[in-house]
Chain A
């Protein structure tokens, strides 16, 4: 089973793969192979055809044309279970876990260990513990999955794949919800699997991670195979260029200087998960919010817009004291928040694009009966403004790529014409091309005199965009940085609670 060093064994390959959905062909004859003991990164913007290719290779969908071969033998998996039995395991970007069951039950779901008629729970618990320990994940095996933080859920998902003795493992954006340390444990595991001869396909928008672990890189663009190269000597900038097919100059836009006028003033606000947080936002300013996961940034913003009750402290909008006990009220004062949980809290995935677009500002189109013509006209204008590319406005929001979903969410919020726009993780799970566009929109919004608050766990993004940066730690604002102080090192010192501007 050990990989030959001279002639690398090809485990899984696709040749001339095409896929059409209805009249639209999304994959135009792509070749791809996974060798034993390699990490093969699959890169491409959203909509480039990555997920379609992965679905074909992992047996989730059948290609319209072309051949999938495992160990040089042509295969067509009827079900995902067939593919998994053949050792091909896909870890989805979205978790595929039974939330109400325990960690152990999830790991062995569908292939429970038995002792005669009964389940061998003791054996499963021990094995589950072992798998999680390898991932440095401390989640108890008897815990309900719903009660776990996202990072642990991701680890459970990976443990589940490992228990299936994968020969080819597809990792689709596995690190999107992981911290640096968790990512490191995952990569250590990837290295071990690699040494055991497992072929790993790694899909990520985090190009520095690709640089760190990939052996080979395949780039897709618009459903076409662009290139497959050895990862050696390829920098993240090179990768971005290959994906986009053009130079990415001015990745971060120039943002005009804010006015001195204070738009929103938050003073000593306490709320669930937030302790006496203060900051102010000026007109035309992009204010970055940095901090570790659970630092209270999202909790603070959700309290401001009225999703959670504010326990104490004051808000002033244009100098006037205000409080919001519902999102409808903050919307009326023209404050709007874009959630980072696009799929769970931002968009109705089963509803069409127009329905989603108008939901936030629906009163505009109800006089009192819905004016569908006006709604559609506004949709057309707004989606053009944000460059939303969709086949038809009747498509469901769930069928859009991440970048287009974010643009739809942005269009939906902007329809209410907010003066304060709070964007939580503006580019999570979004490809480079759409990223640059979103940055451009943020700059435009600020230039129009609105105030933009950007919450992000990507420090380069915070640094590249913000006029000033507020750092939070453990529910408190530990620093407000400007000018030269806006750099990774300083931000991290405040974010980790090593230093704080406020007296304890």
Chain B
């Protein structure tokens, strides 16, 4: 009798938990414990805020990537797009210096231009994919090369640097804080909350995931699938723009190496977070956890001598593969 009751309660208990979200959260907690065991300064608020701040770029981009990937697409161009957006922002702001003394206006225009360029680039990806009928992988592979080469061309092979005076005023957007919370972290949180609400609590979010699950079913269910896909890529573009706006004052420069491999880190964060690469299922909370996990690995390696810091990429790679492997296993069991 005890046997049968055990059999009856077990699946119910398991079914009540969202393993796809619990998995990355567990990994996050494990990493935090490992970190605190290895270095006593690890859990200091300074280091934790540092981790959050460093996660912000990839995290914000990964929130956009969650939309694209759960709609069944992929965007490889985000790193180049960020570099291009940063380059154009810097050139525009430097150019405006000769026209006006109002530095705040220059920064404001620069930020707005960044937002515009990012969203437009995302829109362009979406239009090429839907109107052109070309696969997302191929379109964004193409635009990845285009933006990368454009920023190299604009910088003439070198580095585009933001004027000192402008950078001084723009600086707080990365280095400033409100009530002790760094501004990049605030933007990250804002993007996460907005992204979570849109993906989970609006018709649009449902439509995004439905298009990713089966485009035919979505079309027969009166969903304008092309429009949904274009919007998903525009959200991705806007997220890249937001990350870039926060990034520019950090170094005050852009070059051919800006944002290299960001696309892979963003995709990795999304996948570690439990979103399915084939589309149809997206988790913003998981994505945030994924972005934090990636930064944590680097941070832990920096704080200890156990493993060379040069092996950061290798450890991240192992974590990505392990995460997906575990999710597969859990899905098969349940």
Contacts and interface: CB of A to CB of B under 8 A. Distances in A.
B203 A362 contact: yes
A348 interface: yes
A119 B108 CA distance: 67
A344 B220 CA distance: 10
A350 B213 contact: yes
Contacts of B224: 326, 328
A62 to B, nearest CB: 15
Nearest to A394: B15
A184 B206 CA distance: 46
A326 B11 CA distance: 43
A23 B203 CA distance: 35
A337 B201 contact: no
Contact of A345 (B201, B203, B216): B216
B202 interface: yes
B220 A331 contact: no
Interface in A392-423: 394, 412, 416
Contacts of A339: 220
A359 B210 contact: yes
Counting chain B CB atoms within 10 Å of each CB, which of A337, A345, A363 scores highest? A345
Contact of A369 (B11, B197, B219, B222): B197
Nearest to B213: A348
B203 A327 contact: no
A337 B222 CA distance: 10
B221 A359 contact: yes
B330 interface: no
Interface string B217-233: 11111111000000000
Nearest to B14: A22
Contact of A23 (B11, B200, B213, B218): B11
B213 A331 contact: no
A368 B201 CA distance: 8
Interface in B63-117: none
A341 B216 CA distance: 10
B7 A348 contact: no
B202 A369 contact: yes
B220 A307 contact: yes
B8 interface: yes
Counting chain B CB atoms within 10 Å of each CB, which of A20, A23, A331, A368 scores highest? A23
B122 interface: no
Interface in B24-61: none
B203 A346 contact: no
Contacts of A368: 202-203
Nearest to A341: B216
B286 interface: no
B304 interface: no
A362 B220 contact: no
Interface string B200-214: 111100110010011
B201 A370 contact: yes
A349 B203 CA distance: 19
Contact of B222 (A20, A22, A327, A344): A327
A345 B210 CA distance: 12
Given A328-B224, A362-B203, A348 B15 contact: no
A350 B220 contact: no
Contacts of A346: 217, 220
A351 interface: yes
A358 B203 CA distance: 10
B126 interface: no
Interface string A301-329: 00000010000000000000000001110
Contact of A363 (B200, B203, B210): B203
A15 B314 CA distance: 54
Contacts of A416: 222
A20 B210 CA distance: 31
B280 interface: yes
Nearest to A326: B224
A351 B203 contact: no
Given A23-B7, A359-B206, A326 B217 contact: no
A20 B214 CA distance: 30
Contacts of A394: 15
A360 B11 contact: no
B11 A327 contact: no
B272 to A, nearest CB: 21
B222 A331 contact: yes
A32 to B, nearest CB: 26
Nearest to A355: B206
Nearest to A331: B222
A362 B207 contact: yes
A187 to B, nearest CB: 33
Contacts of B15: 394
Contacts of B280: 348, 350-351
A23 B206 contact: no
A5 B12 CA distance: 52
B193 to A, nearest CB: 13
A68 B194 CA distance: 56
A360 B210 CA distance: 11
B219 A327 contact: yes
Nearest to B215: A345
Contacts of A328: 222-224
Counting chain A CB atoms within 10 Å of each CB, which of B12, B202, B210, B222 scores highest? B222
A107 interface: no
Contacts of B7: 20, 22-23
B209 to A, nearest CB: 8
B290 to A, nearest CB: 22
Contacts of B200: 370
B206 A344 contact: no
A211 B334 CA distance: 41
Interface string A134-161: 0000000000000000000000000000
B210 A351 contact: yes
13 contacts: A23-B8, A326-B222, A327-B222, A327-B223, A339-B220, A344-B214, A345-B214, A350-B280, A355-B210, A359-B206, A359-B217, A359-B218, A370-B202
Interface of A: 20, 22-23, 307, 326-328, 330-331, 337, 339, 341, 344-351, 355, 358-360, 362-363, 365-366, 368-370, 394, 412, 416
Task: Give the 5 A-B CB pairs with smallest separation, nearest first.
Answer: A366-B203, A22-B11, A327-B222, A23-B8, A331-B222
Given A345-B219, A362-B203, 16 more contacts: A22-B8, A22-B11, A307-B220, A341-B216, A345-B214, A345-B216, A345-B220, A346-B217, A348-B210, A351-B210, A355-B206, A359-B221, A360-B221, A369-B202, A370-B202, A370-B203
